[in-house]
Amino acid sequence: MSAEAGQRLALLLSELFLLPVEQVTDDLSKDTVEMWDSLNHLELVLALETEFDVTLSTDEILEMVNYPIIKAILREHGITV
Amino acid sequence: MDLGLCGWRPIKISVLRSMTIEPLHLYLDWHCLRQKMLMQWTISGYGPALQYVLETKNELLESQPDVIVLAWRLQDVSPRLWFDFLSLSTAEVEQEIERIRLEFLQILKSLRGRTQVPILVNLFDRPNHLALGLVDVGHSQGQFRAILQINQMIIDTSVLYSSVFVLDFPAVVAKVGRQNFYDSRMGYVAQSPYTAVGWEALAQTYVRWFRSLFGANKKCLVLDCDNTLWGGIVAEDGIEGICIGGTWPGNAFTDFQRALKTMAHRGMILALNSKNEREIVLQVLQNHAEMVLREGDFAAMRINWQDKATNLREIAAELNIGMESMVFVDDNPAERDWVRRSLPEVAILDLPTDPSGYCDTLYEMWELDTLTFSEEDRQRNQMYRANANREALRQQMPSLDEFYRSLEMRVFCERMRPEIIQRVAQLTQRTNQFNLTTRRYTEAELEEWSNRKDAVIYTLRVIDRYGDNGVVGVGMAHLEEDRWVIENFLLSCRVIGRTIEDALLAWLVQVGKQLGAKAVLGKYLSTAKNNLVSGFYAKHGFKLQSRLDNGEEEWLIISTDYDFICPEWLEFWADGERITFTPARVA
C-alpha cells in the first residue's frame, strides 16, 4: 500500500512538472524545477487533495516547497509515502 | 493533419478576469476535448476589465478569439459593496451600481467597436454572509437586494448588444453547494477562490456554453410513447390503465411531457415514433384527460410496426431536416441501440430506467440548448438594441487617460520600513513578469542593503478607487562611483499597465540625482517569464550600453537627460510628502 501511494505521488509530480519520474527525488524543490511556479503550485495543491483525499491547511500549502516536505505533510495526514 | 476534417474544432477564448482563474484551464481543456473542441486561451492581467479593453494594443483581441469571456466578481469590481456595504448610504449604493453599469456598458461598447464575436459574462454571486445577517434578504436596504439589482442591470445592459450572453454563476455555485464551491484557504493564500469541485462545475458550464455557441444544435425530438410519454403499455393496459397525471408514477410522466412542451416552446420540433396501433395512440392524444401533449404538438407521427430507424428516416424526409438534427427518445435500450447502430448521426437521449429522472436527463442534454427561442424573441432583442445604440451614443467612450484618472490612484513611494521587510522579500521571490532582473532576496539581504549609506530600497504602495492594493512595487538602487545602478525593479502583476512603474522609476532616478549620480544604469536580465519588460528601459530613453556574458543587459542614461515625469493622473507621495512636479529639465 505504501509503495503504491509513494508511486502515485511521484507520478503526480512528474506529470505536473513535466519531468521523467526518475527525476522525482528528494532534490526536487520549487527552486530547482522550472515548471514549479506559483500557478503550478496551485495545481499541485488541488492535485494532492484530489489524489489523496486530504485537506491541506494554509500553512501546509505555503510550506510544501520541496519533495521531502510534501511527503512529510502527507504522512501527517496518514498517507504512507 | 487537418483537424477540422476529423470533426475537431479549434476554439480560441479570450478571458477578461478579475481574479486568479488559471486553475480553470485544466478543467476547461478537458471538457472541451470531450466536446471535440481544441481550446486555446488568452487571459488578461488582473485588474479592472475596462483597462484591458481600452488598451489599443490588446493581446486579447489580437489573438482573434472566437469568444470573449468576462469572468468577474463583485468583490473585485466593487469592494465597497461587497466588504463595506453598511458604511454606504442608500445614495452611495445607487451611485456605485450606476458606476458599475457605466463601466460594463463601456466594456461592451469598446469590445463591440472592435469585434463581433460572442461575449459571455457572468452574474455576480452574493457573499456567504450578507451584511445585515438574517434579515438582509428581506430588507429594503439589504445587500442582497443591491446585488439583485446589479444582476438585473447586467441582464438589462447585456441585451443592448448582439451576442452578449449571460452566464448564471450563482446557479453554478448552487449546483455543487456553496460550501463545496468556495475555498477560502486558496482564496487567501493564492487569490484562487474555488475548490477543485468548483472549478470543475464552472468549466462544465463554460463548455456547455461554448458547445452551444459553436456546436450544432438539435432541431427535433423524436419520441416513443409507451413508458416514455406515459407509464405502461396502452395496447395492454388500455387507455384508462396507463399512468399519467395524479400520483406516482403518473406525475413523473406529466412532468416529462411538460418539459417536452417547454422544449417545443423553445423552438424544438416534436415527432412520434412508436410501435403501436395508430388508432389507439391517437385516442390517447385526443381523449385522455391528463395528457399535456396533444396531436397538434407533433409535427410528424410514425405509429406503426416498422423498425424505428426506418421511421426516423421517413420523419427526417417529411420534415425536411437532416438526420444530424434529430434526437431519439425511447425508454427501451434495445431500440436505442438499434437506432444508434443504424443511424449514427442521430443523437440518443439515454433515459434512465426510473422515470423520476426523465426531466433532468432531458434538461441536461447539452445538444438541446438553444440560444434564441423564437422569431419574436429575435425581434424583441433588436428593439432593445436600437434603444441601446441611442444610449451608447450618449455615453462617450473614455480614453485610456480618462480611465486612469477615474481610478483615482494614489501612489506612496517610501524607503522600506522594517515592518514590511517580509512582504518585500516575498515580492522579490514571487514576482516573475514585471521583474527586470528577477533577483531573489532574503529578509537578511534586504536588511543589509537598506542599511547601506550608498543604497536605497524604495517600496511602492497604491491606493485606488477599488481599495488599498498594499505594497506592490520595489526598486533597489545603489551608487557605483558616480553611477546610480538600478539593481532590481519590480511590480506586482495586480497593477501592471497603470503607468505606476513610470512614477517609481522617475522617483528612483530623482533620488540618485540627489545623491550626486551623473548617470543612471538600469539592469535587465531576460528570463522565461519577464519578456513583458524587455523594452522597459528603452521606452524611458535609456541606451543599451553592454550585454554581459550571462545575458544581463546594462542600459544607461545620463541623469540630466532624464526628467522626473510622473503621470498626471497619479497623486504621488514620496517619503511622506506630496510631490507635485511639473516636468522640467533639470539644469
Cross-chain Cβ contact B26/A38 below 8 Å: no
Chain A residue at shortest CA distance from B22: A39
- CA of B185, closest CA in chain A: separation in Å? 6
CA A55/CA B232 separation, integer angstroms: 49
Higher pLDDT, B79 or B398: B79
How far is B562 from B542, CA to CA, in rounded Å? 9
With beta carbons under 8 A apart, name residues in chain A contacting B185. 56-58, 61
Nearest to A62 among B189, B196, B528 (CB): B189
Contacts of B196 in chain A (CB under 8 A): 46, 49-50
CATH architecture, range B3-214:
3-Layer(aba) Sandwich (3.40)
CA-wise closest residue to B298 among B339, B256, B261: B261
- In chain A, what is the straight-line distance between the N-terminal and C-terminal CA atoms, in Å? 9
Judge contact between B36 and B83, C-beta under 8 A: no
Cα–Cα distance, B17 to B25 (Å, whole number): 13
- Considering only the beta carbons, identify the residue of B23, B188, B432 that sits closest to A43: B23
pLDDT class of B261 with cuts at 50, 70, 90: very high
By a Cβ cutoff of 8 Å, what residues of chain A touch chain B?
34, 37-39, 41-43, 45-46, 49-50, 56-58, 61-62
- Looking at residue B586, what is its pLDDT? 36
| Distance from C-alpha of B521 to C-alpha of B226, rounded to nearest angstrom | 84
Q: What would the mean pLDDT of B520-537 be, rounded to a whole number? A: 90
Residue of B nearest to A45 (CA): B186
H or E element at residue B426: helix B421-430
CATH number, domain B220-368, options 1.10.10.60, 3.90.226.10, 3.40.50.1980, 3.40.50.1000? 3.40.50.1000
**Cβ contact B65:B116 at 8 Å:** no
Closest chain A CA to residue B527:
A34
DSSP strand pairing (B483-491 vs B519-525): parallel
| Residue ranges of chain B assigned to CATH 3.40.50.1000 | 220-368
Strand order in the sheet with B37-43: B37-43, B9-17, B67-71, B119-122, B164-167
Residue among A42, A50, A58 minimizing CB distance to B188:
A58
pLDDT tens for B469-506 read 889 999 999 999 899 999 999 998 778 878 889 889 98
Interface test with B, best of A41, A46, A50 (most B CBs within 10 A): A46
Task: List the single best residue of A15, A30, A34, A45 to mutate versus B (max B Cβ within 10 A).
Answer: A45
Domain over B407-578 is classified CATH 3.40.50.150: no
pLDDT over threshold 60, residue B5: no
Shortest Cα distance, chain B CAs vs residue A12, angstroms: 14
Mean residue pLDDT of chain B comes to 89
Q: Which of B108-112, B123-127, B156-160, B492-496 has the lowest mean pLDDT?
A: B492-496
- Closest-CA distance of chain A to residue B23, Å: 7
> Which chain B residues are within 8 Å of A34, Cβ to Cβ?
528
Q: What's the rounded mean pLDDT across residues B129-142?
A: 96
Q: Give the separation between CA B423 and CA B185, rounded to whole angstroms.
A: 19
Which residue on chain B is closest to A57 by alpha carbon?
A: B185
| Residues B313/B339, Cβ–Cβ less than 8 Å | no
Domains, chain A, ordered by start: 2-76 (1.10.1200.10)
Residue B583 has pLDDT above 50, yes or no: no
Q: Report the alpha-carbon distance of residue B107 to residue B368 in Å, rounded.
A: 31
Helix locations, chain A, DSSP H: 2-16, 38-52, 58-63, 67-76
Cβ contact, residue pair B196, A41, below 8 Å: no
Nearest to B488 by CA among B480, B500, B497, B476: B476
Distance from CA of B443 to the nearest CA of A (A): 17
pLDDT digits (tens, 9 = 90+) for B40-91: 999 988 777 887 787 777 788 888 999 999 999 999 999 999 999 999 999 9
Q: What angle do CA B11, B16, B19 make, to 5 degrees?
A: 120
Cβ contact A46–B190 (<8 Å): no
Of B26, B190, B528, the CB nearest to A38: B190
Q: How far is A30 from chain B (nearest CA, A)?
A: 11
- pLDDT, tens digit, 9 for 90 and up, residues A1-49: 456 899 999 999 999 999 999 999 999 998 888 888 878 888 899 899 9
Taking only the tens place, the pLDDT of each residue in B263-319 is 998 888 999 999 999 999 999 999 999 999 999 999 999 999 999 999 999 999 998
pLDDT at B400: 79
Provide the shortest C-alpha distance from residue B530 to chain A (in Å): 13
Cα A21 from Cα A5, distance rounded (Å): 14
Looking at residue B374, its pLDDT comes to 61
Residue B11 pLDDT: 95
Query: What local confidence, expressed as pLDDT, does residue B388 receive?
Result: 55
Residues of chain B with CATH 3.40.50.1110: 3-214
Tell me the mean pLDDT in the region B84-113.
94
Residues of A in contact with B189 (CB under 8 A): 58, 61-62
Report the C-alpha gap between B64 and B480 in whole angstroms.
Answer: 48
The conformation of residue A28, written as its DSSP 8-state character, comes to -
Whether residues A61 and B190 touch (CB distance < 8 A) is answered with: yes
CA distance B86 to B146: 12
Strands laid side by side in the B326-330 sheet: B300-304, B269-275, B220-223, B326-330, B347-350
B190 and A42 within 8 Å at the Cβ level: the answer is: yes
Which comes out higher in pLDDT, residue A69 or B53?
A: A69
Inter-chain residue contact B188 with A37, CB threshold 8 Å: no
CB-nearest to A42 from B23, B430, B432 is B23
Nearest to A42 among B188, B192, B432 (CB): B192
- At B18, is the pLDDT very low, low, confident or very high (cuts 50, 70, 90)? confident
Strand partners, B1: none
* B26 contacts in chain A (CB < 8 Å): 43
In chain B, where does the domain assigned CATH 3.40.630.30 lie? 407-578
Nearest to B430 among A38, A46, A49 (CB): A38
